[in-house]
Amino acid sequence: MFASLGIDVPTTVLLCLAILLALSFEFVNGFHDTANAVATVIYTHTLTPTQAVVWSGLWNLIGVLTSTGAVAFGIVALLPVELVINVGSGAGFAMVFALLLSAIIWNLGTWYLGLPASSSHTLIGSIVGVGLMNSLMSPDSAFGDGVNWAKVADTVKALVLSPIIGFAAAALLLLLAKALLKKPALFTAPEGKKPPPPWIRGLLVLTCTGVSFAHGSNDGQKGMGLIVLILVGIVPAAFALNMGTSTDALHQITAQSAVFSQSLAQLPQAQAVAPDSADGHKILTNYLRLGQILPVTLPALANVNARVASKLAHVDSLSTMPAAERTSLRLDVYLVSETLSRMLKAKQLPDGLDAKAAGDYQKMLKGLTNFIPIWVKIAVSVALGLGTMIGWKRIVVTVGEKIGKAHLTYAQGASAELVAFATIEAADVLGLPVSTTHILSSGIAGTMVANGSGIQGETVRNILLAWVLTLPVCVLLGAALFGAALLFVFRVLGMH
């Protein structure tokens, strides 16, 4: 079976280990983030733990299955471009194992202490650490080269602003509910193991459903993007391109690539001697690493784009292309797509090119390479659900009893979850990874302040400390493990 995919037994073992590690990250993610989604319904005895976890898992699955993939490939865009392109190499394996191991180690540690730390911060810190160590160990790179700092900045802004929004919006929503809803039962804390009135139970189940769905559609994508990257690097024959691309879509891309080539040919900057394909790849890779347009950049873009047009000419189905040619086409498509995306975002597109037409073409190319197989979505959602089943209790107790000085009321739980759902959905539309943990925990704290209950200083300090330390610790962990993994794959396994 694996021989038909063009991989040998040792590579098959590494492939299985890499996918298992990615699913383990999502499993541990279930300890943290999905546990937050069920915290209120379990703590308020609206649902039993088993009912809550199964219900949440179902809606996580629906969220994952209906996700766009924007967050998944937003995470991939943070990785050093030369490692993304060569993910099937020894360095690519080292990158995948290092960033996932460092994320899992920190997540397990904070879960054990009952601290709702962010899996998003953890993974992104690990990615930055891998990028920094990669630049340090590359002889032709300055420290920090290759890290997509613009994308990192966007991601960090989203991660920092989302809990602030969660805190303020949940507090305001609770105050609004108090002013408009004259239902005393809604603003009381659970008594013993007695479930709330049916209408409150319905409200809390609804908010749990929303957060679970939003979590699946955002957090669930992080592991998916990495699994697809692993598959592309190790089994390019089957996963290099979206084999479900229709004939009409292929013809549209072919036509647009020819139009774009003509537009480039009219630019004086693109008239220099075109480099060969290998040099063209290297030039565009350097542009993606450094963000600087050189005299050779546009000729290289023209050369690589011409290769895309040539390879797709008269192709009605990608399945008719030889496997090696599909792999080569993916590299060309990826470099043209990412180069155009970078130029458009940095406003570096030459004046002679139509920005709208270039953007539309870039989106078409993206559809060829940015896809997620259905079995990957199902595997990730199952891993999330299993993690929640095992690890929910520590996080639920922290959220329900240890953030505020008073126990969580029904209205506070509903307010925090409604805000978390809305914030995560907005981030999903924008393709930005955010932390379910941070949004919900800060929302609970906001409702405690608005309610006049006060917050527990020690717990909040511990949570904030975990939040503040997550990025720098994971940067260091990711860098150290990447360096160690490089030595292992080069010296012990003999891979290059």
| pLDDT single digits (tens) 341-370 | 989 988 888 888 888 999 999 999 998 988
Does 296 or 148 have the greater pLDDT score?
A: 296
Do both 340 and 454 map to the same domain?
A: no
Same domain, 120 and 22: yes
Question: Which is it for the CA torsion 225, 348, 429, 241, positive or negative?
Answer: negative
Q: Pick from 79, 104, 124: which is nearest to 28 by CA?
A: 104
Quick one: 251 and 356 in the same domain? Answer: yes
3-class secondary-structure state, position 455: strand
DSSP letter string, 164-201: HHHHHHHHHHHHHHHHH---GGGGS---TTPPPPHHHH
Identify whether the C-beta of residue 471 lies closer than 8 Å to the C-beta of residue 194: no
Q: Is residue 365 part of a domain?
A: yes
Question: What pLDDT band is residue 279 in, cutting at 50, 70 and 90?
Answer: confident
Among 121-125, 234-238, 262-266, 491-495, name the one with the lowest average pLDDT: 491-495
Q: DSSP for 459-494, please give it.
A: HHHHHHHHHHHHHHHHHHHHHHHHHHHHHIIIIIS-
Same domain, 132 and 276: no
Among the listed residues 221, 225, 211, 223, the one whose alpha carbon sits nearest the alpha carbon of residue 425? 211
High-pLDDT (> 90) share of the chain, %: 15
In a domain, 319, yes or no: yes
Q: Does residue 382 share a domain with residue 352?
A: no
| Identity of residue 143 | F
Secondary element (H or E) of residue 447: helix 436-450
Please, which pLDDT band fits residue 304 given cuts at 50, 70 and 90? Answer: very high
Please tell me the pTM assigned to this model: 0.79
Total domains present in the chain: 2
Q: Which of 369, 403, 436 is the last residue of a domain?
A: 369
Task: Tell me what pLDDT residue 1 has.
Answer: 47
- Listed residues 345, 369, 393: the one ending a domain: 369
Q: Which two tokens stand for residue 31?
A: 């300890």
Q: Which residues contact 310 (CB under 8 A, 6 or more apart)?
A: none
Task: With residue 60 as reference, give the H or E element that holds it.
Answer: helix 49-65
Residues 360, 377 share a domain:
no
Q: Which of 320, 340, 369 is the last residue of a domain?
A: 369
- Whether residues 40 and 147 fall in one domain: yes
Domain identity same for 395 and 435:
yes
b/e code 348-376 from CB counts within 10 Å (16+ = b): ebbeebeeeebeebbebbbbbbbbbbeeb
365 with 379, same domain: the answer is no
In a shared domain, residues 352 and 395: no
29-68 pLDDT, tens digit each = 776 666 677 877 887 888 888 888 888 888 888 888 888 7
Question: How far is residue 317's CA from residue 245's CA, in Å, rounded to a whole number?
Answer: 8
**Is 238 part of a structural domain of the chain?**
no
Domain co-membership, 324 together with 458: no
> Are 377 and 364 members of one domain?
no
Domain that holds residue 53: 3-233+373-492
Q: Measuring CA to CA, which residue among 154, 126, 119, 353 is closest to residue 256?
A: 353
Q: Tens of pLDDT along 389-440? A: 776 666 666 665 666 666 778 888 889 889 988 888 887 777 777 777 778 7
User: Does residue 364 lie in a domain region?
Assistant: yes
